[in-house]
Amino acid sequence: MTPLVPLSLAAGLVTAVPAVAADTAPLSSVTVRVDPSYQQQEFEGWGTSLVWFANATGGYPEPIRRQLVDMLFGEEGLALNIARYNIGGGNAPDVRKDYMKTGATMEGFWKAPDGTTQKDMDWWDPNNPDHWDWDADANQRWWVDQIKDKVTTWEAFSNSPPWFQTVSGYVSGGFDSGTDQIRADRVDDFAAYLVRVSEEMEKEHGITFDTIDPLNEPNTSYWGTQLGTDGQPTGGRQEGAHAGPALQQKVILALGKALEGATTKAQVSAMDETNPGIFTTNWNAYSADARAAVDQLNVHTYGTGQRTSARDIAKGADKKLWMSEVEGTWGTGTDFTSMEPGLGIATRMVDDMRELEPSAWVFWQPIEDAVPQAAAGKNWGSIHVPFDCTAEDTLESCPIRANSKFHTIRNFTHYIRPGDRFVKVDDTSSVAAVASSGRSATVVHVNGGTTARSVTLDLSRFGKVTQGATVTPVVTSTDGALVQGAPVRVTDRSATLTVPAKSVTSFLVKGVSGVAKDAALVQPDHVYRLKGTQSGKSLAPSDDGTGVVIRTNDASSAQQLWSVSQLTPGTDHRERYALTSATSGKRLAVRENQAVLEDPSDDEAAQWIMSTTGDDTWTFVNAATGRLLDVSGQSSADGAKVSTYTPTSGANQRWTVSDETVRRTEKAEVFTVPGLAPTLPETVTPVYRDGARGALPVVWDPPSDDAWADPGTVRVRGTATDPLGREIRARAVVTVDTIASTVPGRAKTYVGGSPGLPDTVVGVGAHGGRTDLPVTWDAAPEGAFAEAGVVTLRGTAQVVDGGTVDASVRVQVTEPTSTDIASDAGVTVAATYTESGYSAERLRNGDTSDKGWSNWRSGTKNPSDTITFALPTARDLDRVVAHFYRDGSNVSFPASLKAQVRRATDGVWVDASEEITVGTEGTPVVDVPIEAGPATGVRLVMTARSGGYITMSEVEVYAKAPGVSSDAAAASIEVNGVPVADFAPDTGDYRVRTADPARAVVTATARDPYATVDVERGRGHAVVTVTSEDGSRTTTYRLTLLRR
């Protein structure tokens, strides 16, 4: 094999967490839960269109073209196995050949009689052998011969019919790019042309086409031809032909008919639309006959909205789905060392596989013309070579260069192979696939952040994890390409590894297989709640019991519970399910496009396919109609009707499915004093699949009052009841003791701030019992927190018998720091508008390079939108940092923005910054200083560019916060509860006399409430080690214990 182009990336990988210096930023972390209970179809593989690059390079000198072949289809290259052959249309003989992009002027397989001009549109006869030229397209066909032994799946496709089958007479599009360009009276001839060329290609080259797609991005205004004063075309960058849905159907039906008697066994694929949104519009307009004629659905992801609509359309139609074309520029310029292009394409691959669930993923063309890419500052393609090289050129004069896409793509294509199955993961930066053997798996993770990241792989949902299971990282970053690290052992069904900043890592998991019994969400005899993502309300039968509505969540309502039963065996993403009301036994079905409840049957209309991206929300696709369970009118009102609708990717079509089957109840802990019967709780906390939540009523079977007479522990049994009347055992543990003291509480604040004091302290009984006691704190003295240090406050704790006990809290006061609170508990984020699949929640996942939130919508774009963070308590805000995302080559940034805060004093929103202009270079990061007092909310008000939309990666909200202390001193050391005499924090050695040195109990209290204390006992001595909160310092105290 010809050696591949030298890598511009070096080598290096972090495989274990290094020691972190005190001033080092903490690692971000993520847990990736791999769930093989939801498996996509067998993956067909990775591929490319041949088209322009093959047309341009197929005639190059052997060393150049051989290296290009190896880089695309070789084992050390991209290892592609799917190829799409472009059947060129071809302009008339008298039309100039140089007005389209280099390589884009494709030859047609027709042979025009001498003297034929562009005006001659009606000469061609498909049955006349003299009208065919089987020597055409030699360069692209050279590529076919070189790769045919490596290609397992072939597709033929067309960008445009030959010129004489177009309306304008040019293959580059119509004079009006928004009107139909394929001649309606030549649709049958066009179909015959495609089929005949496919048959000849199969015969001459020994290949077999699986599909033929007659269209390419048809319902767009991309394809137009402009003429100069001499009548020759001056504009139109490639072959292309507009076709609205009506014309698309005619072409599809004609191709299906032409294939009926053909020697090729190829089937029809369609319609290679530019994005899932327009694809969905086209498909919704198709007739039943046209839909039936399509055997495979093809879509591009140059636009990313409504991926899940295309996914659900394919499931509802029971058809295979390909992501059949994408490329683009990520980052800026044609930099061959930056990771930005590689991270961009890797993120697109992750998102497509998660949201679209395609059976194949295909590039437009990995090889691009180096000259125009450099001139335009773009990085389409992963391999750049000039498209104007000559027969005399060499690898030196016609250089081949690879950018970081070439490397990160191989993180996918080398380790996820045909026959593997993608499976569900819950991390938006990862994909996972199980091997065709079923005995290993691969996880690919993209870290677009600027710091290293700790990644934990949760493998608990596999049926078997062997004792010798390992995870081997293979990383691409600025330090190296596909650098393999040392295997890490899997322990307790998980493994944790650290990946570098701005990297793509393939985790090769060995020793896992099968599916754990409890891995799947849907379990036999369980009941579920279906909560609308948009409304937050639960699916329930309508009042008359014949339909369904949404209702305000009521954990005690059995009406809101459903049985979800799997009807087909297996773990495929197209398994079928029945939804049955847990109270009436009626099954959810679709009749005349309406969601109805009816008696159970085997009718497909009562069968549903469940789809998810791994984000804990699901769509329900009706098996008979392809329509989705949908809250009508996107309503969120209590009692709003639920029906069905075509897929829209709207939040009103997504449902959170929670298992409401109680596994057990949590132990209730109760405290009382001797002689006082305890007050047992009226409810207990049930434990579900996703953890403990809510409350169930409980009836206790208490013992006689004698049980509470003396200190000790008493266990009480009870019976809890769920909403369906099912009984679950409950238990309470009652501690009987007399409170003797309290454990000092602790709190934090910064200089000039106010601490959040604890509501309870731990009461300690005379016999060792412990319980939380409510506490009332005395007011802090004025200026108590004006300096750094430790401040002790006093309070009074309430005991269950009405008595009180003294309490204290030690408050650590540090100099203020600034910390990002966007993802803190209790903080919520919302947007005035969100593109489906890109919610505002993604703006605080720590990834500053992914496409987090988007306000893209079809048609008229929003003139402005607002991102709002609501805070649970008032905070002193410092600044807001907005990380924007460049969506392909689009300037998807606002024209300007400003910050506003909600004042804590009166709840009024006020400006907290000036209007700030947002630039267009690179991917802008806008740091907005906040000038305001304590606030309970902050928002970014963004004004869009004219006709533009906005995409963002991350929003950081910085507020003043307490720091961490480096104090590692002890405040006191006790032996058997007696303070060591003359103790001084700076003195390390002590001699202490005690009655029994061997049994003496040594304790210590740190001077800083957040420092940790460790006591190590030895024969006749003890060592007390105090470690500061920040881990930077330790102080050791040594005690020699002597007999008194």
What was the pLDDT predicted at 823? 93
pLDDT bracket for residue 25 (50, 70, 90): very low
Contact call for residues 668 and 682 (beta carbons, < 8 A): no
Q: C-alpha distances in angstroms, 959 versus 379, 819, 840, 937? A: 39, 6, 20, 11
Averaged pLDDT, 99-115: 97
| Helix or strand run (H / E) with residue 805 | strand 804-814
| CA within 13 Å, CB half, 1012 | 7
What was the pLDDT predicted at 20? 27
CA atoms of 1002 and 1041, how far apart (whole Å): 10
What was the pLDDT predicted at 114? 96
What was the pLDDT predicted at 24? 36
pLDDT of 9 > 90? The answer is: no
DSSP string, 665-733: EPPEEEEE-TTS-----SEE-EEETTEE-S-EEEEEE---GGGGSSSEEEEEEEEEE-TTS-EEEEEEE
Q: Is the dihedral of CA 793, 796, 799, 803 positive or negative?
A: positive
What was the pLDDT predicted at 296? 98
What was the pLDDT predicted at 722? 97
Task: Give residue 946's identity as a one-letter amino acid code.
Answer: S
pTM of the model: 0.88
CA atoms of 1032 and 24, how far apart (whole Å): 11
What was the pLDDT predicted at 10? 38
| pLDDT tens, residue by residue, 365-390 | 999 999 999 999 999 999 999 999 99
pLDDT bracket for residue 432 (50, 70, 90): very high
pLDDT bracket for residue 1044 (50, 70, 90): confident
pLDDT of 4 > 70? The answer is: no
**DSSP reduced 3-state for 461:** coil
Give the position of tokens 């769920």: 722
Peptide bond into 339 cis (omega under 30): no
pLDDT bracket for residue 552 (50, 70, 90): very high
Give the position of tokens 């019992």: 769
Q: Cα 864 to chain center, whole Å? A: 26
What was the pLDDT predicted at 28? 82
pLDDT of 8 > 80? The answer is: no
What was the pLDDT predicted at 12? 32
**In the structure encoding, which two tokens stand for residue 709, read together?**
């007479």
Contact call for residues 301 and 356 (beta carbons, < 8 A): yes
CA atoms of 158 and 143, how far apart (whole Å): 18
Contact call for residues 854 and 305 (beta carbons, < 8 A): yes
What was the pLDDT predicted at 481? 98
What was the pLDDT predicted at 877? 96
| pLDDT tens, residue by residue, 743-760 | 999 999 999 999 999 999
Q: What percent of the chain has pLDDT over 70?
A: 97
Give the position of tokens 């910390």: 819
pLDDT of 401 > 80? The answer is: yes
Q: What percent of the chain has pLDDT over 90?
A: 93
User: In terms of pLDDT, which residue wins out, 852 or 252?
Assistant: 252
**DSSP reduced 3-state for 196:** helix
| pLDDT tens, residue by residue, 715-726 | 999 999 999 999
Contact call for residues 314 and 359 (beta carbons, < 8 A): no
Nearest to 658 by CA among 771, 571, 529: 529
- Taking residue 810's Cβ as centre, other Cβ atoms within 10 Å add up to 19
Nearest to 54 by CA among 506, 264, 369: 369
| pLDDT tens, residue by residue, 985-1038 | 999 999 999 999 999 999 999 999 999 999 999 989 999 999 999 999 999 999
pLDDT of 950 > 90? The answer is: yes
What was the pLDDT predicted at 887? 84
pLDDT of 21 > 70? The answer is: no
pLDDT of 799 > 50? The answer is: yes
**DSSP reduced 3-state for 531:** strand
| pLDDT tens, residue by residue, 525-534 | 999 999 999 9
What was the pLDDT predicted at 129? 97
Q: Domains (ranges, CATH) in the chain?
A: 28-37+418-513 (2.60.40.1180), 42-403 (3.20.20.80), 527-659 (2.80.10.50), 664-736 (2.60.40), 818-961 (2.60.120.260), 964-1044 (2.60.40)
Q: Exposed (0-12), middle (13-18) or buried (19+): which is 38, by Cβ within 10 Å?
A: buried
Sheet of strand 770-777: strand arrangement: 739-743, 760-765, 770-777, 789-798, 804-814, 745-750
What was the pLDDT predicted at 460? 98
pLDDT of 54 > 90? The answer is: yes
| pLDDT tens, residue by residue, 629-684 | 999 999 999 999 999 999 999 999 999 999 999 999 999 999 999 999 999 999 99
Contact call for residues 843 and 867 (beta carbons, < 8 A): yes
**In the structure encoding, which two tokens stand for residue 103, read together?**
């390589």
| pLDDT tens, residue by residue, 114-143 | 999 999 999 999 999 999 999 999 999 999
- Return mean pLDDT, the chain: 95
| pLDDT tens, residue by residue, 163-190 | 999 999 999 999 999 999 999 999 999 9
